[in-house]
Amino acid sequence: MWTKPPQRLAPRPAAADSPSASPDPTPDASASPDPFPAAEPVTSPQPKSRSAGPAAGRKTRSNSGGGNAASKRPGGALSSSSSTARGGAPAASSPAANAAAAQAAADALFTDPSPAPLEAPRIGPVRVAALGGGRGRGLITTRTVQPGELLLAVRPLALAWDEQYDEDGDGGDGGGSGPGSDIEPADAKFLELQRQLLGRKYSAREVAWLSGLVGLPGGGAEQGSGQAGEQQQQQQQQEAPPLPELTSGSRPGEREEEEGSRDLPLPARLRDPDTLADVVQANCLEPDGGAEDEHAFWARWAAAAAAAARTAPSADASPANSSATSSPSPSSSVVPVPVPAPARRRRGPMGLWPEASLLNHSCIPNTVAYVVGDTLFVRAARRVGGGAELTVSYLPVGSGYGDVYDDGDVYDSDDGDDGGDGGGTAAATLLSPLADRRGALEELRGFVCSCSRCTAEESLDPKLRALMADISEGVAALRGDLRTALALAELDEEGDEGEGEEEGEGDVEEAVAAAPDAGRARGGSAAATRSGGAQDKQQRQQQQQRREEEEAEEGEEEEEEEGEGGSRWRQMVGSVVDRAGMYLELMDAAMVKLKLTPAQQITAQSAVAPLYTVLWAALGSRGELEPRLAEVMGALVGEVAPGSADHVWWSEVARETAEMIVAEEEAAEEAPVVRRGGGGGGGFSRPQDDRVTIADKACYRAFGVRYGPLSRGVYRQLLAARRRREDEQQQ
Ligand SMILES: C[S@@+](CC[C@H](N)C(=O)[O-])C[C@H]1O[C@@H](n2cnc3c(N)ncnc32)[C@H](O)[C@@H]1O
């Protein structure tokens, strides 16, 4: 989400200053045979100053590890016994079962079966329809679709990423956007899209698409208001070109045919700078995620490929073989599977994907979109009936999972650097109250949202809405205080280092670096804590004893320091925790008093959800875990934006937190063990395991929505791989 008014780029003659064939819009496009064919040709070379080097220093889990699959040579051969391949579809025992398992593994990549899973564009059970109510066209389902089902896999006309412009890699305003530039990354990307569109050539079909975007709502024509505006809209819709047909283009050779005829310039009307900027502004998408999705995609793909090759009687049944890659034919024992190993961070895609630009917005969307390579994947995020409209969010989710420490534009609505109106509407997220969301959509996209969530929120009691607005503003202040507190903590820590580190303060740095991932702040890496369950009892008891002693000492030191006016940061964190707790109590009291239905409660809580994040982060900075907060965030984000990166992240945190708490209870021998009833063959079960199981199920569902149906084995692999990357990054 860019926070400044969009900037316009003066048109240049196509390719006039760019004789060379252009690089992939992503940096580092040097070395591929890429499993995704190269991006659409972009004929303007990218100015050097905007090709940022490797991003560094991001503190978010979501951006940990990561890299650029589109620009990397496949990372080498994997054998079927490699760790990446382990845990794929279970090996089957008869030839028929083998073949079925192989097919299932291949099909699991896409729920609409196709022999060429990686070859976009792929169009699922969707079609274009004219919608009423000033919404222009939209995409509707042609049948009922299930959560996780693939709806679109489509290629962009233009695409830019944060790290192309964000020198310091923090996604914020740290003077990034390329050496010597003070432009915001979001603005830089917005300009880059226009530059790419002006610089490239088009097929006849693409020209038709682009022409169809002009003169439609939000598509480059000034809209009047009131009755005149409506008449104007109706007239434009009547004059608009016929609805485009969505075609997969996966007939063999079709793609090549089309690329061969890609020699038309951008339509003249779009060469007008204002029109081009408007069209890009109205139609570009900014899906969440980034490198993590590429990791997940390839881990899953590798597992399916390996499982298929293990069981396939012939090479043809392997997804590795059926992809568009140049992967060698698998044999039955060793499976060379090209798996890109993205090594760099990648986040913040902004692109123009023509087919997906037909998706209208909802503040409670029923699809989720993310990018792998340069292909946009759109999956159903919920069960959607046949003929129903599909929607995506134009706003970021904004659970703040990675932004507590960033000057991230998600929250910095009032810090005066956004060049906006100070009201911060442009920085609103899906987890902002109605007025902020509407303001942002109106300012940035030029329409007033009246989706089902907005309507439901509108009908809440005005006093409750006023309280929600106050809390939302208060949360911005809490975030500011927490950032200050953590900066102070860092200073404290530096001071302590100068004097020789004092016992007990050693985890401050870790806490600062790791919260909101509070688990990391709990004295030792999550990996160490996770493995606690496997340690023998005596060792665990010793550890627990040591921890208690340390905590006691730490507490005494803190009291001393605070008595001397020291440890200001702890006082500030304490104040953040108290105020956040007070807001929560106020919300609870209001919801009880007004007797809100569960649905209304979700509507109300969603609009102030960042409160839970701030509280989580504040507690995390003191090394405290509050599992309920992570559960609530996972559940709320899962209601508002299922399958979003935020949803996956919070579900995973909730799961991990549950595991850690149980491990600690076990270590402290607090965990009850009860005899299992029924015919389970005896044994014991523990109520605390249910907590982990419930959290694990929720997490599995979140992964399944984002990445499509997953086997348990692949899910475990994805979790393990994410943890490895996170733990590596923490070190
Ligand atoms: C990316 S286009 C979506 C397709 C568009 N409806 C069309 O006919 O081409 C974005 C534009 O669709 C309209 N739109 C999208 N979501 C909307 C919503 N929730 N309510 C009203 N209009 C919406 C706005 O005019 C917006 O500028």
* C-alpha 135 – ligand 1 centre gap (Å): 5
Calculate the alpha carbon distances from 549 to 543, 544, 552, 608, 670 in Å: 10, 9, 5, 38, 18
Whether 604 and 460 have beta carbons less than 8 Å apart is answered as yes
At residue 243, the pLDDT reads 61
What is the pLDDT confidence band of residue 206, given thresholds at 50, 70 and 90?
Answer: confident
**For ligand 1, is residue 138 a contact (CB within 6 Å)?**
yes
What amino acid is encoded at 452 in this protein?
Answer: S
β-strands 360-361, 389-392: how paired? parallel
**For ligand 1, is residue 136 a contact (CB within 6 Å)?**
yes
Where do the H-state alpha helices sit in 200-328? 204-213, 226-239, 254-260, 273-283, 291-311, 319-322
Whether 390 shows a pLDDT value over 70: the answer reads: yes
546 vs 667: CA distance, rounded Å: 12
Average pLDDT over residues 376-399: 96
pLDDT tens digits, residue range 66-104? Answer: 222 222 211 222 122 222 222 222 233 455 554 444 444
**For ligand 1, is residue 4 a contact (CB within 6 Å)?**
no
**For ligand 1, is residue 127 a contact (CB within 6 Å)?**
no
At residue 76, the pLDDT reads 20
At residue 291, the pLDDT reads 83
What is the pLDDT confidence band of residue 667, given thresholds at 50, 70 and 90?
Answer: confident
**For ligand 1, is residue 282 a contact (CB within 6 Å)?**
yes
Counting residues of the chain whose pLDDT is more than 90, the rounded percentage is 33
The residue nearest atom 2 of ligand 1, judged by CA position, is 283
At residue 96, the pLDDT reads 58
* C-alpha 211 – ligand 1 centre gap (Å): 16
Whether 156 shows a pLDDT value over 80: the answer reads: yes
**For ligand 1, is residue 464 a contact (CB within 6 Å)?**
no
At residue 427, the pLDDT reads 80
Whether 148 shows a pLDDT value over 70: the answer reads: yes
Whether 227 shows a pLDDT value over 90: the answer reads: no
Question: Tokens for 499?
Answer: 């004097």
pLDDT tens digits, residue range 94-138? Answer: 555 544 444 444 344 444 333 334 555 778 899 999 898 788 889
What is the pLDDT confidence band of residue 316, given thresholds at 50, 70 and 90?
Answer: very low
Largest separation between any pair of C-alpha atoms in the chain: 79
Whether 585 shows a pLDDT value over 50: the answer reads: yes
At residue 35, the pLDDT reads 23
Whether 4 shows a pLDDT value over 80: the answer reads: no
**For ligand 1, is residue 433 a contact (CB within 6 Å)?**
no
What is the pLDDT confidence band of residue 639, given thresholds at 50, 70 and 90?
Answer: very high
The residue nearest atom 10 of ligand 1, judged by CA position, is 282
Which one of 283-292, 331-340, 492-501, 711-720 scores highest in mean pLDDT?
Answer: 283-292
* C-alpha 601 – ligand 1 centre gap (Å): 28
Q: Which of 116, 337, 131 has the alpha carbon at shortest distance from 233?
A: 131
| Choice from 285, 361, 395 to test ligand 1 binding pocket (greatest atom count within 8 A of CB) | 361
349 vs 347: CA distance, rounded Å: 6
301 vs 294: CA distance, rounded Å: 10
Which one of 26-40, 245-259, 323-337, 365-379 scores highest in mean pLDDT?
Answer: 365-379
**For ligand 1, is residue 608 a contact (CB within 6 Å)?**
no
What is the pLDDT confidence band of residue 726, given thresholds at 50, 70 and 90?
Answer: confident
At residue 298, the pLDDT reads 74
Whether 218 and 138 have beta carbons less than 8 Å apart is answered as no
The residue nearest atom 23 of ligand 1, judged by CA position, is 135
Cα four-point dihedral sign 298, 637, 702, 706: negative
Whether 657 shows a pLDDT value over 60: the answer reads: yes
pLDDT tens digits, residue range 292-304? Answer: 888 887 777 776 6
At residue 305, the pLDDT reads 66
**For ligand 1, is residue 281 a contact (CB within 6 Å)?**
no
**For ligand 1, is residue 443 a contact (CB within 6 Å)?**
no
**For ligand 1, is residue 218 a contact (CB within 6 Å)?**
yes
Residues 6+ apart with CB under 8 A from 304: 88, 89, 105, 106, 108, 109, 319, 714
At residue 475, the pLDDT reads 94
Compare 215 and 548 and report the one with higher pLDDT: 548
* C-alpha 310 – ligand 1 centre gap (Å): 47
Compare 216 and 712 and report the one with higher pLDDT: 712
The residue nearest atom 22 of ligand 1, judged by CA position, is 135
What amino acid is encoded at 123 in this protein?
Answer: I
| Choice from 131, 135, 357 to test ligand 1 binding pocket (greatest atom count within 8 A of CB) | 135
Cα four-point dihedral sign 522, 525, 530, 532: negative
Counting residues of the chain whose pLDDT is more than 70, the rounded percentage is 53
* C-alpha 448 – ligand 1 centre gap (Å): 10
Whether 646 shows a pLDDT value over 90: the answer reads: yes
At residue 492, the pLDDT reads 76
At residue 321, the pLDDT reads 37
Average pLDDT over residues 252-264: 62
pLDDT tens digits, residue range 527-570? Answer: 333 333 334 455 656 666 776 777 677 666 655 555 554 588 89
What amino acid is encoded at 483 in this protein?
Answer: R
* C-alpha 90 – ligand 1 centre gap (Å): 45
Average pLDDT over residues 3-8: 32
pTM above 0.95, yes or no: no
| Per-chain mean pLDDT for the chain | 68
| Choice from 213, 360, 362, 443 to test ligand 1 binding pocket (greatest atom count within 8 A of CB) | 360
The residue nearest atom 4 of ligand 1, judged by CA position, is 358
At residue 252, the pLDDT reads 40
Task: Please state the atom number of ligand 1 nearest to the C-alpha of residue 451.
Answer: 19
